[in-house]
Structures are given as C-alpha cells and as structure tokens.
Amino acid sequence: MKHAEKWIRIILWLLFFVLGGYIIYRGIGIASENGWFEKSSVVSNIYKGIEEMSVGTFMPGLSYSANQTSNGEHWLSDLFSESFPLYEYVNMQEGYEQNIESKSEYEMILAAEAAAEDNMVPRPKEEIPEDTNETNASMESEVASAQGETQSQTGESNQDGSDSVAADAGVIKRAPVAEIPMDKLLDYDYVLNNFYAIDMTTTIDREHLDVNNLINEKMTLEQDNSKPQILIYHTHSQEAFADSIPGDVSTTIVGIGEYLSNILRNKYGYNVIHNTGVYDLIDGELDRNKAYDLAFEEVSQVLADNPSIEVVIDLHRDGVDGKKMVTEIDGKQTAQIMFINGLSRTTQNGDITYLPNPYIPDNLAFAFQMKLKAMEYYPDFTRSNYLMAYRFNMHLRPKTLLVESGTQLSTVEEERNAMLPLADILHQVLSGE
C-alpha cells in the first residue's frame, strides 16, 4: 500500500511540473503577442537571453549559422560536432587513424619503389599505325647503309680498362646514321609506341606526355665548368656484373660511374662530382627498402653544398632474368642502356601525393632527348624509355636521369664500353649540338 502511495505522489509532482511549465510558457507567449516585453527593456533582455539559451541548447545549428561565417564546406560536420560531442570524438579518431594509415602507406610506397626495378612488367604495346611501321623499316635501311661509313669515320677511344680517357686530344664528332622526320616526332602515338614502354603500375596520357615539350624543352647547361655541373651517384651501390671481383669496387656499378665521370671530365671538360655513398646496405646486409630515402638525404646535401649542379645521374645496373642486354658499337660488345622516368602516379590511385615531383615534364624531356640522340647516332644502344609509377628522387633537379646500364649478365668491359656513347649523347644534349 505504501509503495503504491509513493508512486502516486511522484506522478502528481510530475503533473504539477508539466502543468506549471505549460502555464509559464503560455503566459510568456501571450505577453509577447501583446508586445509587453518590448515595453520593458529589462524583461526584454531576460526573455532574449532565455530564448538564445534555449535555441543554443536544442537547435545549435540555428545559432551556429547566425553567428559564424562559413564557406559551406565543413558546415554540416561542424553542426554535428556542436549537437553531438560523440561525433566530434569519432571524427578526431578517424583523422588520427588516417595519419597512421598515411605513414604506413608512405612506407609501403618506399618499399614498392625500392622493389620496382626488380619487378618491371611493361604494358603490351598498343597497335602501331601502318605508317609507323613503314618509318621503322626506312630507318633500319638507313642505319644498315650508314653504319659502315660511320665506323670508318670515327676514331676509337682508349678502352684498355684504365681511366686514361684524357688521352683523347679532342672530341671527334660522329655522323648521324638515322634521322626521324619531325612530323613523326610530333605524333603522340608514334612517340609513345617507338620511344616508350609503360609499366603496368602506371599510366600516362597526352596531357602529361607533351610531345612539343619533349622536343623543345631547353636542356643545355647554363653553368660553366668553373663550378660543379654534374653529379653522378648510385642508389644501389652493390650492383655488380658477371665477372665482377668480390671486394673490388671498381668492378661494380660504382666503378662504372667513376669511369663515366672521368670521360665527362677529361674528354668533354665537365666539372663532375661522383658520389660513392652506400645506401643499400644496412648493418652489412643488402637492404634496398630505404635506399632511395637514404640516398635522398645525402644527395640533397651535396646539391645544397653545390647549387651550381644542373645534372643529376643515378646510375644503375638492371636485373633481367636470363637476358643479356648487349649490342655492338664500333666493333665492340657494348651493354645496352635504358632511361627510366618516375611519374609519381599509379594506375589504381592516380597521383601519389606523398611523392610530388614538379620536374616530371623536364625529366621526361631530358630522357627523351637523350633517347633521340642515341637513336640517331647509336641505333640499338638504348632500350625503350621506361615509365614507372614512383619518383626515384627525380625531383632533385629538372635535368635528372635514372640510367639502367646492362644487366647482371653483362661483363665489366661491356659496361665500360657503354659509358663512351652515353657520355657522347649526354654531351650533345647538354651542349645543344
């Protein structure tokens, strides 16, 4: 019985409160309709304060829109944050998780970048127009008829294994053995199919592969040789060849880089820095996962210390299973080379915002002009320029090259032989010849 009386009292009190609130509410409404509040500034201010607090409590979106300036982009998110604190907490947690994911994704990209050279899978070539095939046949005919004549006109450089390329008193100019008509060079489809191979991980279109820019972009040097002009380094310093001698750096890609440096210094007069830093060994073990990051730190410092440097070359040796990339130049077995361009763009996700590179058009033009010179003067010396998804530190300078020379099946002699035509076409591009 007592329990029932207790509940009756509670219900009655609740009814009294509800009824009292209703009476006050109606009274205020009637007074407002009769203009009573407007006649008393004190009462008006009290009423206004109650009204603002009520709106702020039960309809915060109205007070937010009345008192805040907004561009409209985040209005709904802010409204939910005001109304539901739990939403703001969840939103903050998602932002935190996105930061963690971004860091994780960046590390994954670095690892993928490190492994990309060993996992290259080119896209199948699109069908080449008939006139392109005719042009190729014409070029091959010109090459066959001109090669013998060129070899008789061209002096041979000292390639006895020493770095005494300074013995050349001057640079003997070769005659071109092939010429590609300008109308072909301005044809996007022709250029794409004859100059490039595109990795499955990336894409490119007419907007990003501007053939006019490829041809007309100025790549000549502005700095004379009183200060450093060219930097050569090796992200993967441990790359060696079929007959490399263990422990002898001169028979690795670093030794080939030194040989190239001496050709450029002594034969062509360039001021060259050869950085021999090691970036692919961690605690004595081969580890390429952070090689590009480690190389970036040191190479950036070299460039900061030598702002006159205009050309950066990262010289590598390719690794192609069971394939020996070799040709014959001036009667000598010569490793073929390939220029790689990083587009900072994946097929699946588009541009990689973590790896910005404002110099992609310049990088593309530099490699294209190198490839074009090679096709004109040393047919079959270069493979197709290879377009890949990542950046490969090519954002360091507009004139940056990533060069793959030969493969693990190449000999040291074949690699050294390749540095002479490479230096020649580089000189032609940089001098504007």
Task: Break the chain into its structural domains and give their ranges.
Answer: 2-83, 108-431
**Residues of the chain falling short of pLDDT 70:** 1-4, 25-121, 123, 125-172
Give the amino acid at 37: F
pLDDT of residue 208: 86
The residues, any chain, with a CB within 8 Å of residue 200's CB and separated by 6 or more, are 121, 122, 123, 347
Rounded to whole angstroms, the Cα distance separating 97 from 340 reads 35
| Three-state secondary-structure class, residue 382 | strand
pLDDT of residue 162: 37
Rounded to whole angstroms, the Cα distance separating 162 from 128 reads 45
pLDDT of residue 11: 82
pLDDT of residue 52: 53
pLDDT of residue 103: 43
260, 265, 266, 267 alpha-carbon torsion, rounded to 10°: 70
Rounded to whole angstroms, the Cα distance separating 295 from 392 reads 10
pLDDT of residue 397: 98
pLDDT of residue 60: 44
pLDDT of residue 125: 61
Tell me the torsion sign for CA atoms 362, 403, 234, 257.
negative
Q: Are 281 and 238 in contact (CB under 8 A)?
A: yes
Residue 88, exposed/middle/buried by CB under 10 A (0-12, 13-18, 19+)? middle
pLDDT of residue 154: 33
Structure tokens at 305: 């210390």
- Of residues 10, 9, 29, the one with CA closest to residue 21: 29
pLDDT of residue 393: 96
| pLDDT tens column, 267-311 | 999 999 999 999 988 888 888 788 999 999 999 999 999 999 999
- Of residues 260, 262, 298, the one with CA closest to residue 280: 298
pLDDT of residue 197: 95
Rounded to whole angstroms, the Cα distance separating 78 from 205 reads 40
pLDDT of residue 167: 36
pLDDT of residue 244: 96
